[in-house]
Amino acid sequence: MSAQLFVVATPIGHLDDMTFRAIEILKSVALVAAEDTRQSAQLFKYYNIATPLTACHDHNESNKIDQLIQRLKSGENIALISDAGTPLISDPGFKLVRAAQENQIRVVPVPGACAAIAALSAVGLPSDRFSFEGFLPSKSSQRLLQLEKLKDETQTLIFYEAPHRILDCVTDMMHIFGEDRPVGFAREITKTFETIKKMTLKELVSFIQNDHHQQKGEIVLIVGGNPVNKDVDQDQLDQLLLRLLQDLSVKAASQLAADLTGIKKKIAYQRALELTQNQES
C-alpha cells in the first residue's frame, strides 16, 4: 500500500504562521524529512510535535531518497519541510518530490508561508504577472550577465539575496536596470525588525549604504518590470502594424513598430506575420 508525501510549509520568522492543517499533518505522519533537524526541533517543541525527524538536505538528498521512498512504499506517510517557508522554493526537496511521483506516490502540498509571495503581497508593485528568479549568482560578473538577460522583462521580478551581498547586488541592479526602476525591499518579514519599503533603485542603494542595519537579516527584492512595453496593448499594436503594413514589408513594419513602441522586434515581427496571413486568408 502506497502512502503520501506531504510537502509542508513552515513559518519564515513568526512561529505562529503555521496552519492548523500543517500542525496536524506533522503530528500524524510517521517521519518528517527536514533540511536541518536542529532548526526544526525548535518548531516541533513550540507545537508539541513528537514525530521523529530525519535530515534531508542538498548534500544527502540523493542518498536519502531511496530510504524515504521505501518507507512510503511500505505504507508510511512522510512529511517534507525546510528550514523556513515552502520546501523546493530555493530550498531542497525537488529530487524527493520527483522520485515520489516516479514511484506513483501521491504528493500533497500543505501551503503556507513563502517569503517571495509575502513580499509581493505587501510591497505595492504589480502582482498580476511576476517571475521568481531566486538567488542571483554570487560573483558580480555572472550576476551582471544574468541581470542583463532580465533587463527587458516586463513582469515584476522577485529575487532572494543574502545580507552580505545586498549592497553589491542592488548596485549592480541599478547599473543594469537604471536608477529610476522601482524596487521593493522586504527585510525580516514577520520578525521584530520587519522593513517593507518601495523606492527607486538609486534610493535603495543610498538607503542601504546609510543604514548598516539594512544589510542584516533576510531580504527579498522585488523589481518592477521594464515599463517600456507596458503602455502598448494588443489592439494598439495591431492598429499600428496594420497601418505600417499598407506601405512596408513585414520586416520593415515590425522593425518600425518595435522602435516606436519599445516592444521586442521578434514579437512585432511574429504579430505582423499573423496579421498578414489573416488578411490573405
Residue 35 makes contact with ligand SAM by CB under 6 A: no
Length of the chain: 281
Q: In what order do the strands lie in the sheet with 182-187?
A: 130-135, 156-161, 219-223, 182-187, 195-200
Of the pair 73, 191, the CB lying nearest ligand SAM is at: 191
Residue 160 makes contact with ligand SAM by CB under 6 A: yes
| Closest separation in Å from C-beta 110 to ligand SAM | 13
- Coarse DSSP helix, strand, coil percentages of the chain, rounded to the nearest 5 percent: 45, 20, 35
| Closest separation in Å from C-beta 163 to ligand SAM | 8
Q: In what order do the strands lie in the sheet with 4-8?
A: 53-55, 31-34, 78-81, 4-8, 106-110
Interacting positions 70-109 with ligand SAM (CB under 6 A): 82, 84-86, 89-91
Question: Residue 250 corresponds to which amino acid?
Answer: V
Site string for ligand SAM, 7-26 (x = CB under 6 A): -----xx-------------
Site string for ligand SAM, 161-180 (x = CB under 6 A): xx------------------
Residue 43 near residue 22 (C-beta atoms within 8 A): no
Residue 275 near residue 242 (C-beta atoms within 8 A): yes
User: Which region among 103-111, 149-157, 165-173, 218-226 touches ligand SAM (by CB under 6 A)?
Assistant: 218-226
Residue 219 makes contact with ligand SAM by CB under 6 A: yes
- Produce one character per residue of 131-150: b if its CB has 16 or more CB atoms within 10 Å, e if not: ebbeebeeeeeebbeebeeb
Residue 37 makes contact with ligand SAM by CB under 6 A: no
| Closest separation in Å from C-beta 83 to ligand SAM | 7
Residues in contact with ligand SAM by CB under 6 A are: 12-13, 82, 84-86, 89-91, 114-116, 160-162, 186-191, 218-220
